[in-house]
Amino acid sequence: MRRTIGVTAAVTIAAGILVTAPAAVSAPSEAVSAQTTNTSLLDVHKKSRKCDKPKNKGFNISWKDGVSSTTFYFNNHRKETNRVRVWYASAGMKCKAITVKPGTKGSKKLHRIYYHNLMEVDFGKCPYWP
């Protein structure tokens, strides 16, 4: 008998929460739209660079914007060394390069570069700023 009363009480409470929850959630529509844009920022990004020799091979990178760091995954099918430039904001605009040797597959974690301050990811060396 106790179990049926406990289950009945739990179902009644759950039904009450479901009935009142949509009214509370539907009021602040700005909070819902901000939440959907934050999840779109945390998507997986991919870039690739094609090469002529060997044919149909390339240099591929992917990353997901993290909360406190970002991990870059790479796969270099090319016969030369490639670099990934990561532009981020930290008391100004800064650049950090990841060097990948030929035929290498792996990952590199960059601490303190996350979705909020990550500006751009492209290929090449970082410029020298005096």
| Mean pLDDT for all residues in the chain | 76
Average pLDDT of 67-71?
90
Q: Residue 86 pLDDT > 70, yes or no?
A: yes
The closest of 78, 80, 75, 44 to 60, measured between CA atoms, is 75
- Of 5-14, 28-37, 89-98, the range with the highest mean pLDDT is 89-98
CB-based contact 85:124 (threshold 8 Å): yes
Half-sphere exposure of 38 (CA within 13 A, CB side): 9
Residue 130 to residue 111: CA distance in whole angstroms? 24
The closest of 67, 39, 59 to 123, measured between CA atoms, is 59
Residue 7 to residue 130: CA distance in whole angstroms? 70
Higher pLDDT among residues 130 and 97, named by residue: 97
Q: How confident is the model at residue 91 (pLDDT cuts 50, 70, 90)?
A: confident
pTM: 0.64
Buried b (16+ CB within 10 A) or exposed e, 23-34: eeeeeeeeeeee
Q: Residue 35 pLDDT > 50, yes or no?
A: no
* Cα dihedral sign, 110-115-120-123: positive
